[in-house]
Amino acid sequence: GAGVSQSPSNKVTEKGKDVELRCDPISGHTALYWYRQSLGQGLEFLIYFQGNSAPDKSGLPSDRFSAERTGGSVSTLTIQRTQQEDSAVYLCASSPTAGTGLYFGPGTRLTVT
């Protein structure tokens, strides 16, 4: 079946602009996650959704970052007033329930110039 999909695959934006990243999880997966992968760094947890609720937003780096999930499916990660340090690959993952192995999408490569 279809895996996790993300769009856009690449995004180049100017410093100070807002960006929206989209994630379509595997159908039926109730848990959805956003991670960030920076050059030379491991995967950094950003936020976790169970259904449409986000019980843990503790990984969001600042209040410029927000995320929502609607219909228990699609999620968007929004970064306002982007900064150069936001440049990274943003990975979305889903799982049937929390705590099981995560299935990742291909990621969105964000470059802030």
Partner 1 sequence: QKEVEQDPGPLSVPEGAIVSLNCTYSNSAFQYFMWYRQYSRKGPELLMYTYSSGNKEDGRFTAQVDKSSKYISLFIRDSQPSDSATYLCAMNGSGGSNYKLTFGKGTLLTVNP
Assess 74 for contact with partner 1 (CB under 8 A): no
The per-residue DSSP string of 77-105 comes to EEE-S--GGG-EEEEEEEESSTTS--EE-
For partner 1, the binding residue among 7, 45, 72, 74 (CB under 8 A) is: 45
Distance CA(60)–CA(90), nearest Å, equals 12
Distance CA(59)–CA(44), nearest Å, equals 8
For partner 1, the binding residue among 64, 73, 80, 98 (CB under 8 A) is: 98
For partner 1, the binding residue among 1, 2, 41, 84 (CB under 8 A) is: 41
Can you read off the two tokens belonging to residue 98?
């929390």
Window contacting partner 1 (CB under 8 A); options: 11-19, 60-68, 75-83, 95-103? 95-103
The answer to whether 87 touches 112, Cβ cutoff 8 Å, is: yes
The residues binding partner 1 (CB under 8 A) are: 4, 31, 33, 40-43, 45, 48, 50, 56, 91, 93, 98-107, 109
